[in-house]
Amino acid sequence: MRITECKVNHLVNPAGYDLGKKLRFSWNVEETEEKDLSFRVVVKEGENVIHDSGYGDLDFTGYEVKDITLKPETVYSWTVSAKGSEEVIGEEQFFETGKMDETWSAEWITCAESDRLPIFTKD
């Protein structure tokens, strides 16, 4: 049995996204004929577990976590495990949040002379 095609919110290892307050984890299970499988999804921030679904009758098509509190610009890892006659843990996946509700602070790149169009070059 193998766990493949792991995605969060339909993306493979997304970086820099505002994933919202709902996370949808999905995966495929290959090389098994078993129909009576239970699944477990674990989400970590570093070494800290921030969500553990426990083994349950999660749908083969995925699992949704509602109202999870994510921090901006943070890398999270997650794994999905499947248990039937044997237990298999999928490869560790990740997602990274974007700025989310943080305010942007930057200055516009402009030309010193307001009546000219700027030309930008790079060596």
How does pLDDT run across 41-98, given as a tens digit for each residue? 999 999 999 999 989 877 777 899 887 889 989 999 999 999 988 899 999 999 999 8
* Predicted TM-score (pTM) of this structure: 0.79
Q: Where are the chain's structural domains? A: 2-97
Ordered DSSP codes for 82-104: EESSSEEEPPPEEEEE--TTPPP
3-class state of residue 24 by DSSP: strand
Q: Which CATH architecture has domain 2-97?
A: Sandwich (2.60)
